[in-house]
Amino acid sequence: MLEIAAQLLAVGLLWGVTNPFIRLGSQGIESVRDRGSKWSNFIQEARTIGSRWRYWIPFGLNQCGSALYVWTLQRASITVAVPVANSLSFAFTAITGYALGEKLPGRKVILGTLLVCCGSILMIYDKILQEQAQYHQNITFQ
């Protein structure tokens, strides 16, 4: 379970840290002017975003986090994996955004994030206790 917890921590880190960088790398995409049809706008936006390495590097790392998440779900309980990965992602996004000069979220958001992270820690702790109890039960029956 500790291995799964470490993998979920890595997923939350990859997702959370890359979100502000993706946001920075995609700045200005909304300034692509309406040049007629939807298809010409789409092509112009794709050209604009496609030429930005500051978008693609964090996006690639974010997708690595998604691949790790799917791989982790093969062995993890989805009832634990989803809230843990998402709460950590949110916390890392807030921390990274603040480090990059973004506004710190309000007190209620910070408190809510801390509570969700604490709940995630309790869920992992409970899973570890369940696995240990099952392990001891299996030893007793052998």
The pLDDT-based confidence of 141 (bands split at 50, 70, 90) is low
Look at the pTM and tell me if it is higher than 0.85. Answer: no
Do residues 81 and 72 make contact, with C-beta atoms less than 8 angstroms apart?
yes
Q: What distance in Å separates the CA atoms of residue 82 and residue 137, rounded to the nearest whole number?
A: 28
Where in the sequence is the domain holding 123, given as residue range(s)?
2-141
Whole-angstrom distance, CA of residue 76 vs CA of residue 68: 12
Cα 57 from Cα 92, distance rounded (Å): 18
The larger pLDDT score, comparing residue 29 to residue 95, is at 95
Higher pLDDT, 6 or 123: 6
Angstrom distance (rounded) from CA 81 to CA 67 = 14
What would the mean pLDDT of 11-29 be, rounded to a whole number? 91
pLDDT score at 20: 94
| % of the chain beyond a pLDDT of 90 | 30
Number of domains in the chain: 1
Q: Identify the band that residue 17 occupies on the pLDDT scale cut at 50, 70 and 90.
A: very high
| Residue 100 CB-half CA count within 13 A | 17
Q: In this model, does residue 134 exceed pLDDT 90?
A: no
The confidence score (pLDDT) of residue 67 equals 97
47-64 residue pLDDT tens = 877 888 888 999 999 999
What mean pLDDT value characterizes the chain? 85
Q: Look at residue 58 in the predicted model and tell me its pLDDT.
A: 96
